[in-house]
Amino acid sequence: MEPKTPAQSRTILTDLVLPSETNPLNNLFGGELLARMDRAASIAARRHSRRIVVTASVNHVAFNRAVPVGSVVTVDAAVSRAFSSSMEIFIDVWIEDRYSGERTKANEAIYTFVAVDDTGKPTKVPEIRPETDLEKERYAAALRRKQLSLVLAGKMDPSQATELKALFMG
């Protein structure tokens, strides 16, 4: 399988925040944003793998800024690294100022998707070839994030998480 670049899976969803999608403070519900990010990430994972994909885990979400009703929200997702059957998807969320059009980073998240065959069995995906400095940075850190996710899920013994341990022990 030929390696692919993050640009080949990049998926951008732009949509409004409607009143029905907000909390009592008139800001976007966290769950609504999670769903939008899941949709964008699943399309990115599919573009990379050309397979059926399932969400395996949500590794990190930061709701750094509230997103007010009426905002134009852009969810920008791309595969940051692919392993054997799993893919890390990095998602940046931007809001656009109604008057100036200036974009501000509101949130970010990291999801893991797994490509599966028709019976739900994990199947191989192409590797990622990062191009930009940011893509290279995200690619490099993805292995320790995968190990952390597996350790927290009880699927990896902490003693095997070599990349993760190196972070603390040098």
Residue pair 86/146 in contact (Cβ under 8 Å)? The answer is: yes
Which residue, 70 or 120, has its beta carbon nearer to ligand PKZ? 120
What's the distance, CA 72 to chain centroid?
20
State which residue, 27 or 113, has the beta carbon closest to ligand PKZ.
Answer: 113
With contact defined as beta carbons under 8 Å apart, do 75 and 37 qualify? yes
| Neighbouring residues of 139: CB distance < 8 A, sequence distance ≥ 6 | 80, 81, 128, 130
CB of 57 to ligand PKZ, least distance (A): 4
Residue 135 CB, nearest approach to ligand PKZ (Å):
19
Half-sphere exposure of 7 (CA within 13 A, CB side): 4
Distance in Å, CB of 162 to ligand PKZ, minimum: 15
Residues forming the site for ligand PKZ (CB under 6 A): 42, 53-57, 83-86, 112, 114, 116, 120, 122, 146, 149-150, 153, 155
The residue among 27 and 86 lying less far from ligand PKZ, judged by its C-beta, is: 86
Amino acid at 155: K
Which of 22/147 has CB closer to ligand PKZ? 147
